[in-house]
């Protein structure tokens, strides 16, 4: 069922969950910030105004690099998809994820790929693999952070966080690997999931879900291992670029290496990265957690500057993909209209 055919009650429930999670993350952010100390908001805005145009330019350029790396797994999993088209469609999908209910971004990406002549089933399977490898990377990020921080010191809390996150990553990876290795297992899992869904909505066809799961397995069985091997280093590099964007934002607001080392900044970002599972990439709770982690290292006197850096980070990492996505959607729709008009006149 696509986003357009989703019943109003389901759409309303989806939006309520999304808003509820966002409110929860902001409430958690407020609690975390209150535990750290009182923020001098005049100093925060002063730190943001301190940034120059060229500094924003550098940050935006790095965000573009990050977005290309984020889209590359689509190329690894979908035959016939270029890096440019993967990146462009991914920006449109990113914008859809910000303004529409969950799954709308995936549906949009598949529709776009269909317009480019890519088989719908292959596009859907590749998009699903893209999500899976991103989830594995998300939950592996704390381990990368602990390994990086180990060059300077060891933090037992960070270590426990990384261990727990790694278990989640391994579970996702093992589940995906088992499904890709066995079509009967994929069919059984699809039938089981369809049966669970049928208890909520009687119109769900469990056998149809089983057939879809088996078709999914057939499309990705040959490509998953190779795609995974290429995607994980790519996404690890993407995480490091993302951490570098935050690091530069921190340097640009005036926090020096002597006040806060680059190792501490990037490690804190990677360890907190699983919090991006909240709406809008964990806005609020991720930011507050990073501020709390880094304030504990650098002192309360840098808290306002850290908040200014996180605000800057959010502006460029959310604003740039949204702007690129809007440009892509407008261009793609214009191309589709021209193609429809040409077909009507021929």
Q: Please give the average per-residue pLDDT across 319-328, as a whole number.
A: 92
Nearest to 274 by CA among 137, 146, 175: 137
On whether residue 74 sits in a domain, the answer given is: yes
Answer yes or no: are the C-beta atoms of 127 and 225 closer than 8 Å: no
pLDDT of residue 57: 93
On whether residue 196 sits in a domain, the answer given is: no
Which residues constitute the domain of residue 152?
Answer: 32-181+223-335
- pTM, full prediction: 0.81
On whether residue 214 sits in a domain, the answer given is: no
Convert the pLDDT of each residue in 105-149 to its tens digit: 878 888 899 899 888 878 888 888 888 899 999 999 999 999 999
Q: DSSP string of 5-49?
A: TS-HHHHHHHHHHHHHHHHHHHHHHHHHHHHH----HHHHHHHHH
The yes-or-no verdict on residue 4 having pLDDT over 50 is: no
On whether residue 22 sits in a domain, the answer given is: no
Cα(281)–Cα(246) distance, rounded to whole angstroms?
14
DSSP-derived 3-state class of residue 51:
coil
The yes-or-no verdict on residue 1 having pLDDT over 50 is: no
On whether residue 128 sits in a domain, the answer given is: yes
Which residues, including other chains, have CB under 8 Å from residue 117's CB and lie 6 or more apart? Answer: 80
Cα(182)–Cα(129) distance, rounded to whole angstroms?
16
The yes-or-no verdict on residue 3 having pLDDT over 50 is: no
Nearest to 238 by CA among 66, 22, 35: 66
Helix (DSSP H) and strand (DSSP E) numbers for the chain: 14, 0
DSSP-derived 3-state class of residue 269:
helix
On whether residue 197 sits in a domain, the answer given is: no
The yes-or-no verdict on residue 85 having pLDDT over 60 is: yes
Which residues, including other chains, have CB under 8 Å from residue 82's CB and lie 6 or more apart? Answer: 75
pLDDT of residue 2: 44
The yes-or-no verdict on residue 200 having pLDDT over 70 is: no
On whether residue 211 sits in a domain, the answer given is: no
Answer yes or no: are the C-beta atoms of 97 and 108 closer than 8 Å: no
Least confident of 210-214, 252-256, 317-321: 210-214
Longest dimension (CA), the chain: 70
- Average pLDDT, rounded, for the chain: 80
pLDDT of residue 294: 93
* Residue-wise burial string across 155-175, b where 16 or more C-beta atoms lie within 10 A, e elsewhere: beebbebbeebbebbeebbee
Least confident of 34-38, 138-142, 161-165, 329-333: 34-38
Convert the pLDDT of each residue in 153-182 to its tens digit: 988 988 999 999 999 999 888 877 777 776
Structural domains of the chain, count: 1
- Who wins on pLDDT, 76 or 211? 76
On whether residue 20 sits in a domain, the answer given is: no
The yes-or-no verdict on residue 258 having pLDDT over 60 is: yes
């Amino acid at each position: 069922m696509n986003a357009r055919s989703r019943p109003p009650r389901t759409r309303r429930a989806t939006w309520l969950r999304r808003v509820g999670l966002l409110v929860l993350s902001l409430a958690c952010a407020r609690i975390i910030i209150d535990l750290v100390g009182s923020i001098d908001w005049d100093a925060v805005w002063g730190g943001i105004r301190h940034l120059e145009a060229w500094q924003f330019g550098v940050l935006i350029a790095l965000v573009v690099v990050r977005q290309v790396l984020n889209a590359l797994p689509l190329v690894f999993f979908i035959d016939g998809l270029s890096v440019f088209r993967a990146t462009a469609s991914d920006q449109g999908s990113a914008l859809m994820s910000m303004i529409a209910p969950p799954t709308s971004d995936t549906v949009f990406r598949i529709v776009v790929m269909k317009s480019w002549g890519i088989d719908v089933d292959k596009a859907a399977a590749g998009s699903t693999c893209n999500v899976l490898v991103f989830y594995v990377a998300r939950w592996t990020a704390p381990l990368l952070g602990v390994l990086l921080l180990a060059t300077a010191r060891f933090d037992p809390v960070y270590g426990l966080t990384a261990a727990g996150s790694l278990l989640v990553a391994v579970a996702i990876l093992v589940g995906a690997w088992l499904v890709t290795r066995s079509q009967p297992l994929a069919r059984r899992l699809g039938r089981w999931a369809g049966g669970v869904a049928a208890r909520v909505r009687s119109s769900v066809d469990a056998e149809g879900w089983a057939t879809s799961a088996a078709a999914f397995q057939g499309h990705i069985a040959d490509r998953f291992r190779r795609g995974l091997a290429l995607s994980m280093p790519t996404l690890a590099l993407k995480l490091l670029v993302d951490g570098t964007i935050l690091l530069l934002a921190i340097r640009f607001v005036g926090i020096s290496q002597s006040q806060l080392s680059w190792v501490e900044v990037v490690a804190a970002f990677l360890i907190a990265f699983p919090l991006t599972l909240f709406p809008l990439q964990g806005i609020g709770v991720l930011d507050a957690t990073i501020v709390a982690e880094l304030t504990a290292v650098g002192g309360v006197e840098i808290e306002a500057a850290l908040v200014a850096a996180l605000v800057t980070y959010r502006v460029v990492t959310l604003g740039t993909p949204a702007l690129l996505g809007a440009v892509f959607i407008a261009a793609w729709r214009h191309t589709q209209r021209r193609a429809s008009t040409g077909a009507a006149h021929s």
